[in-house]
Homo-oligomer: A and B are copies of this chain.
Amino acid sequence: MTGLIEAMAETASAVNQELDRLLDRTDAPEGRVLDAMRYSALDGGKRLRPFLVMTTASLFKVSAASALRVAAAIEMIHCYSLIHDDLPAMDNDDLRRGKPTCHRQFDEATAILAGDALLTLAFEVLGEAETHADPAVRCELVVQLAKASGANGMVGGQMIDLLAGNMVMDMNGITRLQQMKTGRIIAFACEAGPILGKAPRQIRTHFQAYAHDLGLAFQIADDLLDTEGDAAVVGKATGKDAAAGKATFVSLLGAERARAQADMLVEQAVSHMDAFGEEADLLRAVARFVVERRS
């Protein structure tokens, strides 16, 4: 896994540079919102979604410059969702990636606006000619990212999650919730490579299948960390789902079966990459990484 850790670190650094470039600073009075965007978007997280973009893109010989813009756009969406989810009216979190959350560091109004502006900037970046020479490809990126992030994707998942404390949720319900809340964005990250490389649709289905299993395994691992993890290592509060009375994969299956399920999903994800030879080794490695991580 040494190769993976190095590759992820390299991507994280490249994405930070790209985000730094795309997020202007200004002395004008609106500078506060840009400061808040930079505070939350730069220098943090594993950058898993950008890594999936860069790795699938390199399988299709997409230029790194092009892939990096998509990686940055996806990370903007991810960071906006964290800022808004952390707000007092939502999960009311004080800590994120080991630092004060955006609304604790700035204030609630600035955090709401910083999230809005990151969300908006993601689409601006995808729409611009620098992202891909073919505008049809750029439109597809815009539409797919919007579908993955909106009311039928991530936002819808967060809505269900907020109501989940008062719902009886079975495995189907939890699986659907997690597919919407985190799965669809992970799926977009995995499909970005074939979209940018204009791969035929039957090739894309392999990546959809890989992403489906990876996303669920990722979420089960997250639930296990929430149950068993140490807040100091995880970088955010733990044990919150149980405290809120929410069903999770772990509460429904128990830790042991949940872990077995995650392992099974990872092997399934890996098998979807069979057709892609050793060039897909990093995608196999990252699938194993998501269930073995400790933060």
Q: Which residues of A contact B (CB under 8 A)?
A: 24, 28-30, 32-34, 37, 80, 84, 87, 89-90, 107-110, 112-113, 115-117, 119-121, 123-124, 126-129, 134-136, 138-140, 142-143, 146-147, 149-152, 155-160, 162-163, 167, 173, 180
Cβ contacts under 8 Å, A147 to chain B: 124
Contact A116 B155 (CB under 8 A): yes
Contact A29 B159 (CB under 8 A): yes
Shortest CB-to-CB span from A144 to chain B, Å, is 9
Q: A87 — nearest CB in chain B belongs to which residue?
A: B112
Partner of A121, one of B30, B37, B113, B146: B146
Partner of A117, one of B124, B134, B151: B151
Cβ contacts under 8 Å, A134 to chain B: 135
Say how many copies of this protein the assembly contains: 2
Shortest CB-to-CB span from A20 to chain B, Å, is 15
Q: Could you list 16 A-B pairs, sorted by A, with CB under 8 Å?
A: A28-B156, A30-B180, A33-B156, A80-B116, A90-B109, A110-B162, A113-B155, A113-B159, A120-B150, A121-B150, A124-B142, A124-B143, A127-B143, A129-B139, A138-B139, A138-B142
Cβ contacts under 8 Å, A142 to chain B: 123-124, 126-127, 138-139, 142
| Known pairs A30-B159, A107-B89, A108-B89; A139 contacts B127 (CB<8 A) | yes
Cβ contacts under 8 Å, A28 to chain B: 156
Shortest CB-to-CB span from A89 to chain B, Å, is 4
Q: A181 — nearest CB in chain B belongs to which residue?
A: B30
Contact B120 A149 (CB under 8 A): yes
Most B CB within 10 A of own CB, among A24, A32, A151, A162: A151
Q: A120 — nearest CB in chain B belongs to which residue?
A: B150
Contact A109 B162 (CB under 8 A): yes
| Known pairs A89-B108, A138-B139, A167-B29; A146 contacts B124 (CB<8 A) | yes
Contact A159 B124 (CB under 8 A): no
Partner of A119, one of B87, B116, B156, B167: B116
Contact A159 B121 (CB under 8 A): no
Cβ contacts under 8 Å, A128 to chain B: 139, 143
CA–CA, A95 to B87, complex, Å?
Answer: 23
Contact B117 A89 (CB under 8 A): no
CA–CA, A156 to B47, complex, Å?
Answer: 27
Partner of A150, one of B124, B139, B167, B180: B124
Shortest CB-to-CB span from A168 to chain B, Å, is 11
CA–CA, A261 to B49, complex, Å?
Answer: 51
| Known pairs A127-B142, A151-B34; A89 contacts B116 (CB<8 A) | no
